[in-house]
Amino acid sequence: MMQNNKIFIHETADVEEEVVIEDNVKIWHQAHIRKGASIGENTIIGKGVYIDSNVKIGKNCKIQNYACIYHGATIEEGVFIGPHVVITNDKTPRAINTDGSLKTDEDWIEGKTIIQYGASIGAGAIILPGIIVGRFVMIGAGSVVTKSVSDYMVVVGNPAKEIIK
């Protein structure tokens, strides 16, 4: 276990170089934080969480076990991300091009996703790329979010639909 400057990183976590971690952050078992990511103060990263390169996570967030947050995502302050949530970044994922060659980073367009202040994403939800999840939005467990969600809405289902304003 590493404890330094009020930061706790479990010995089985993989935190790559050039990650910015602010004070009072806790990173638990088998989490993987990629190069260029940043994690704001007082944030808790659960077991098995994957945070891709250059992902920005604000302060006072809770990211529960086995969530996956891919590059292109920005998580603002005070966000709750439930277990097994996936925040994606590619609307048309494929392994190969039409000529059979393996796709590279140049062969796709990264979708930018923003989860705004105070939002809460329930267990097992999937957020498609290019989505803005508004302030204090509540996304129900297992929902698939296919379009942006306005502030303070509650959405559920596949595709996620508003149930309360």
Nearest to 44 by CA among 15, 18, 79, 11: 79
**Cβ burial 46-70 (10 Å sphere, 16+ → b, else e):** bbbbbbbebbbbbbbbbbbbbbbbb
- How many Cα atoms within 13 Å fall on the side-chain side of residue 51? 34
Domain ranges of the chain: 1-91+106-165
pTM, rounded to two decimals: 0.93
Task: Tell me what pLDDT residue 107 has.
Answer: 84
pLDDT band for 106, please (50, 70, 90 cuts): confident
Q: Is residue 2 over pLDDT 80?
A: no
Angstrom distance (rounded) from CA 103 to CA 93:
10
SS3 101: coil
Q: Is residue 3 over pLDDT 60?
A: no
Question: DSSP states of 17-63 as a string?
Answer: TT-EE-TT-EE-TT-EE-TT-EE-TT-EE-TT-EE-TT-EE-TT-EE
Task: Tell me what pLDDT residue 105 has.
Answer: 83
Answer whether CATH 3.40.50.720 is correct for domain 1-91+106-165: no
CB-CB contact of 70 with 89 (8 Å)? yes
Is the pLDDT higher at 105 or at 149? Answer: 149
* Both tokens assigned to 39: 């994690």
pLDDT digits (tens, 9 = 90+) for 40-86: 999 999 999 999 999 999 999 999 999 999 999 999 999 999 999 99
Of all residues in the chain, what percent carry a pLDDT higher than 90?
89
Task: Tell me what pLDDT residue 1 has.
Answer: 44
pLDDT digits (tens, 9 = 90+) for 110-163: 999 999 999 999 999 999 999 999 999 999 999 999 999 999 999 999 999 999
Q: How far is CA 160 from the centre of its chain?
A: 18
Task: Tell me what pLDDT residue 165 has.
Answer: 60
Helix (H), strand (E) at residue 73: strand 73-75
